[in-house]
A and B are shown apart, each in its own frame.
Chain A
């Protein structure tokens, strides 16, 4: 396979973006991701974006947001109704074909204007599950409950994840939530979606993320220490919750195996775990040991820009490789109820 790397990353997250529409929110981030490596838009060979019409509340919402990259003259471009991490996958495939050398990927979502708990129910089976309008926290709670009752995790384990993430987020200017509470203090909070407490759930977040991918020597010119994609794989599980063992995520395990997570030491992992118990489940499915630094950014528990959360995981790992703080890392993205669909990317410095 051709060597492709993440060479630039920019993000913006806010608990609520009141002033700017999506295009206005995206433009500075796309500008920043280009400026960081001094690349002009005419040197970008392919653009791919990720977003959801259901967050914007209009069909074909990505049509107007394309303005943010200035597609004039016309550009080679595509869009996925998936997390931006999957847009990276599409661009990575294009780059593998050997005819282009660079790609810009952006993803965005504003969850604050609507009731995100109701909106996300629309991704459920429209005949049997969707009509019940089960909100996303309640569905996550089912998975947490099964993990707890099967004895695989404890509520204290979940609180430890939340406490560690909130403390880490204090050092991340892009996080929208942080805290210094101990796990014991967090456990004293009431359950909001039994067995979940507020700190076990992701915050509503508006935001954008963007990365630039480059191949081979072009990547080396643009970046002192490119974060090379050594493996990028995704898999999907059945949709219906009733046919799945919710204490497992076979698709996450299969993607991690195919991406080669176990082929070397993992220094850092950024996991798209929007609820605290998901981190515990994913650590096991991805085969990450206790020595792995998981979600040093604070993770999705502290900033959950839907449609960009997975892409941000990739950027966070890449930044640590550029800085020399890590040599090999894992970025993970998820979609669907109870981690139905999972993407795993292994990034490595030279």
Chain B
């Protein structure tokens, strides 16, 4: 963390859905931003700077969307910054915005992330031929399925673990009015019987393709205190970390990437967390395919190698467990890609503010927001708390 403490005082998101045909891209981001401003009891003119993130630009056919969105986000005459990392972009964007406050450069920063997947076809936008490179996959699932198979072989995890994660997240999503997928009739068997997309990933173990946006307002300590005094408890930032590693490197472990382990160790150290399993109350992690929950539990240090699936199997990560994961329904229930990382960070902040509604974990004081991208090689994480760091 920097010299200044950072408080998250405004959180907004859209209702995520397959097609938001009723709004333009500008309308979509403005909806989330307006909700975050309302939550922060602020107006557009209160904001010093805007940080926007999404990835990749190909999905909407719009290059450098920050230029066109400057007006819609009230950025005219102000600094407007654009972040573009991989699937982790929503998380990276929130971190860049928090840096602006932590460094003392600005006092009130609005950050927004979005994706309007209905404007294109993400799977094929991700499957363009790279010059001089062999075509490796069709869509992200084809890329990650071998990593999951490696995890299953390595840990001896039984087939039903992925089904359990998918069922849990989709049931949690029923408690989140903003979630894209609301499937009240979902059962273990319906997930199990859904067709195999990329063995071992079934259709119901896969994230949807969503339109949506998320926005946060971050302020300095004094404004955070003001919000608390007015009865609007902020989430306080306790640590942020970014790590990246190459797509290909000799000895690289795609199942539990070095960058993920280092990123988690860094962010926990900043937050003074020595025993994550005990000290973290709730986790929002980036799980686009069900099996990534046990994989990330291990990578993040919540348990030993090969133990993650056992936490799932024994219900530890359910809302009633001692380490609830993705109470919002997670990426498995809403995936506006560019916003998905920021949604994880935002949901973590909602939990420590006690404002997560039906999917609130009672008494949550410390939460982890996690995002990853690329070939499991880009990581962004933050720890937020109900108390000041």
Cβ contacts under 8 Å, A67 to chain B: 246-248
Say yes or no: is A239 at the interface (Cβ < 8 Å to chain B).
yes
Contact A59 B79 (CB under 8 A): no
> A80 with B83: in contact, given A53-B56, A250-B77 (CB under 8 Å)?
yes
Cα A47 to Cα B246 in complex, Å, equals: 13
Q: Which of A30-38, A124-132, A193-201 lies on the face that meets chain B?
A: A124-132
Q: How far is the CB of A305 from chain B (nearest CB, A)?
A: 16
* B104 within 8 A of partner (CB): yes
The stretch of A169-177, A202-210, A334-342 that contacts the partner chain: A334-342
Chain A CB within 10 Å — which of B67, B241, B377 has the most?
Answer: B67
- One digit per residue, 1 when the CB lies within 8 angstroms of any chain B CB and 0 when it does not, for chain A 64-93 equals 101100111111111111100010011001
Q: In the assembled complex, how far is the CB of residue A120 from the closest CB belonging to chain B, in whole angstroms?
A: 7
Residue of A99, A123, A234 near B79 (CB, 8 A) is A234
Q: Is A235 an interface residue (CB 8 A)?
A: yes
User: Known: A78-B92, A97-B2. Is A21-B132 also a contact (CB below 8 A)?
Assistant: yes
Query: Which residues on A sit within 8 Å (CB–CB) of B57?
Result: 52-54, 59, 81, 122
Closest chain B CB from A48 CB (angstroms): 10
Task: Determine how close the nearest CB of chain A comes to the CB of B262; give it in whole angstroms.
Answer: 5
A235 CB to closest chain B CB, in angstroms? 6
Q: At the interface, yes or no: A236 with Cβ under 8 Å from chain B?
A: yes
B70-103 Cβ-contact flags toward A at 8 Å (1 or 0):
1100011111111111100000100010011011
Complex Cα distance A38/B177, Å? 56
- A331 smallest CB distance to B (angstroms): 17
Does B3 count as interface, using CB distance less than 8 angstroms? yes
Given A74-B258, A250-B77: A93 and B244 interface contact (C-beta under 8 Å): no
Assembled-state Cα–Cα distance A141/B370 (Å): 46
Report Cα–Cα, A93/B1, bound state, in Å.
Answer: 12
Looking at the assembled complex, report how far the CB atom of A345 sits from the nearest CB atom of chain B, in whole angstroms: 13
Give B252 Cβ to nearest chain A Cβ, in Å. Answer: 8
With CB as the reference atom, state the residue of chain B lying closest to A82. Answer: B82
Q: Is A251 an interface residue (CB 8 A)?
A: yes
Q: Which of A234-284 contact B (CB under 8 A)?
A: 234-240, 250-251, 254
Is B78 a contact of A52 with CB atoms below 8 Å? no
- Determine if B64 is an interface residue (Cβ-Cβ < 8 Å): yes
Report the Cα distance A99→B132, complex, angstroms.
Answer: 40
Q: Does A62 contact B (CB under 8 A)?
A: yes
Contact of A59 among B58, B263, B377 (CB under 8 A): B58
B79 / chain A contacts, CB cutoff of 8 Å: 233-236
Instruction: Mark interface residues in A299-315 (1 if CB within 8 Å of B CB, else 0).
Output: 00000000000000000
- CB < 8 Å A-B pair total: 187
Contacts of B258 in A (CB 8 A): 73-74
Task: Quote the shortest CB–CB distance from B377 to chain A (angstroms).
Answer: 7
User: Quick check: is A112 within 8 A (CB to CB) of the other chain?
Assistant: no
Query: Which residues of chain A are near B78, meaning CB under 8 Å?
Result: 235-236
Question: How many chain B residues touch A (Cβ–Cβ < 8 Å)?
Answer: 66
Min Cβ gap A255→B in Å is: 8
Contact, CB under 8 Å: A90 / B131: no
Which chain B residues numbered 111 to 157 have a C-beta less than 8 Å away from chain A? 125-126, 128, 130-132
Interface size class of A (residues with CB under 8 A): 35 or more
Query: B374 at the A/B interface (Cβ < 8 Å)?
Result: yes
Q: Which positions 90-114 of chain A face chain B at CB distance < 8 Å? A: 90, 93-94, 96-99
A126-B62, A234-B79, A250-B77 as given contacts; A72 in contact with B245, CB under 8 Å:
yes
The answer to whether B63 touches A86 (Cβ under 8 A) is no
B81 close to A89 (CB less than 8 A): yes
Indicate which residue in B61, B100, B263 contacts A122 across the interface (CB closer than 8 Å).
B61
| A59 and B125 within 8 A (CB) | yes
Whether, in the assembled complex, B68 has its beta carbon less than 8 Å from a beta carbon of chain A, the answer is yes
When A97-B3, A120-B63, A234-B79 are in contact, do A76 and B245 touch as well, CB less than 8 Å?
Answer: no
* Residue in A closest to B96 when the chains form the complex, CB atoms: A90
Assess the A335–B132 pair: CB atoms within 8 A: no
Whether A119 sits at the interface, judged by CB under 8 Å, is yes
Q: State how many angstroms separate the Cβ of A174 from the closest Cβ of chain B.
A: 25
Q: What 1/0 mask marks residues of chain B from 1 to 14 whose CB sits below 8 Å from any chain A CB? A: 11100000000000
B259 at the interface (CB under 8 A from A): yes
| In the bound complex, CA of A238 to CA of B75 (Å) | 8
Q: Is the CB of A72 within 8 A of B2?
A: no
Complex Cα distance, B64 from A53, in Å, reads 10
Please indicate which of the listed interface residues A98, A120, A124, A126 has the most CB atoms of chain B within 10 Å of its own CB: A126
A125–B26 CA distance with the chains assembled, in angstroms? 10
In the complex the two chains form, is B76's CB within 8 Å of A238's CB? yes
Residues 107-155 of A contacting B (Cβ, < 8 Å): 119-120, 122-127, 130
Q: Are A74 and B67 in contact (CB under 8 A)?
A: no
A126–B243 contact, CB under 8 A? Answer: no
A188 at the binding interface (Cβ < 8 Å): no
| Shortest Cβ distance from residue B220 to the other chain A in the assembled complex, whole angstroms | 13
B128 lies within 8 A of A59 (CB): yes
Task: Taking A59-B58, A72-B246, A238-B70 as given, write out 9 further A-B residue pairs in contact, using a Cβ cutoff of 8 Å, ordered by the A residue number.
Answer: A60-B86, A72-B252, A73-B258, A76-B243, A79-B83, A79-B84, A126-B25, A239-B69, A341-B80
Give me 19 A-to-B residue pairs in the complex whose CB atoms sit less than 8 angstroms apart, sorted by A's number: A47-B244, A57-B128, A62-B84, A63-B375, A67-B247, A78-B242, A79-B84, A81-B57, A81-B64, A97-B1, A97-B2, A122-B63, A130-B62, A236-B66, A236-B80, A238-B71, A239-B69, A239-B70, A340-B67
